[in-house]
Amino acid sequence: MATVVKKPLIQEYHDYLEFLIDWIDYLKVREKGFSLRQVAKEAGMASGYLPMCFSRKRKLSKRSFVKLLPHLMLTPKEARYLELLQVIAESEDPKDRVKALTELQRLKDYRESHQLELEVHQYLSRWYYVAIRELVNTADFKEDPAWIQDRLRGRISQKEIEEALAFLVQFKFIEKNADGKYLVVQKQLDCHEGVFKISLGEFHRQMLDWAKVSIEEVPRADRLLLGHTTAITRDQFELVQGILKKALNDLERVENSTVQKGMEVYHIELTAFPLTQNSSVKDGSVGE
């Protein structure tokens, strides 16, 4: 009796490489004479290259991925879906990753299978969703969109605020108590790593834009922008990371140390990033 292997459904995958491994195993059973060695030969790759990539001992390059794709017997829709997953996982350009995720989110199959990713991305990619959630914690909070609009910086419409409130309630970022007042709900953001990094990167970009605006618009007594520029080694950078993470933990303890309601919503950004690049880095490459 022939072995029955369930067909891998690409919309159920986050990791394009994991799908490739399962898809190749599926084709080995379904297609007589099919082998990884034969695929590598047809794609013009060394026979040992793909096994190294599939065991994650080597990175599957974009060029090799493009050469491999036509030999995988995928439908055009499946092939495009796989391409988008590959860009999200491997592209060095944040703009390309965001563009790929945006296209992926338009697909019905993705929306039906990845509700958590959609939820996290919508929450983090709109800075005012996070701000409104924290505004609920202030002493004088009012549910009125006009009041919220007046409190928020920037040009956020009342319609956008209404949509934000509806989202925050629907996905249990906030809820109403017995008195009909909103409360913040403690919630763990559960999302696949690749999508989470894209969403978090977009959130930090927006927050850093607000940091620039604050230099011009916020009184000096109400803002704090500190910085230090220096040449350091990789080991010293790891030490810097430890210091910043400890500082963030200390800040969280300040937040949790009192039951007193806040008066304003602050974003506190701890950053450390290079202003130079090693000469061995290719021109044009960028990081997260």
pTM value? 0.78
User: What is the per-residue pLDDT for 267?
Assistant: 94
Q: Are 10 and 19 in contact (CB under 8 A)?
A: yes
Distance CA 207, CA 210 (A): 5
Residues in the chain: 288
Tokens in use for 219?
């009184």
User: What is the per-residue pLDDT for 101?
Assistant: 92
The rounded average pLDDT for each run of 10 residues, N- to C-terminus, in the chain (288 residues) is 75 92 92 88 91 90 92 94 92 90 91 88 94 93 95 94 96 91 86 82 94 94 94 95 94 79 90 82 44
User: What is the per-residue pLDDT for 2?
Assistant: 52
User: What is the per-residue pLDDT for 280?
Assistant: 58
Write the CA distances from 79 to 4, 20, 115, integer angstroms: 23, 11, 22
Domain ranges of the chain: 10-88, 121-218+226-256
User: What is the per-residue pLDDT for 3?
Assistant: 57
Say whether domain 10-88 belongs to CATH 2.30.30. Answer: no
User: What is the per-residue pLDDT for 277?
Assistant: 85
User: What is the per-residue pLDDT for 287?
Assistant: 39
Query: 36 CB contacts (<8 Å, ≥6 apart)?
Result: 24, 28, 50, 51
User: What is the per-residue pLDDT for 175?
Assistant: 94
Phi, psi at 176, each rounded to 5°:
-95, 140
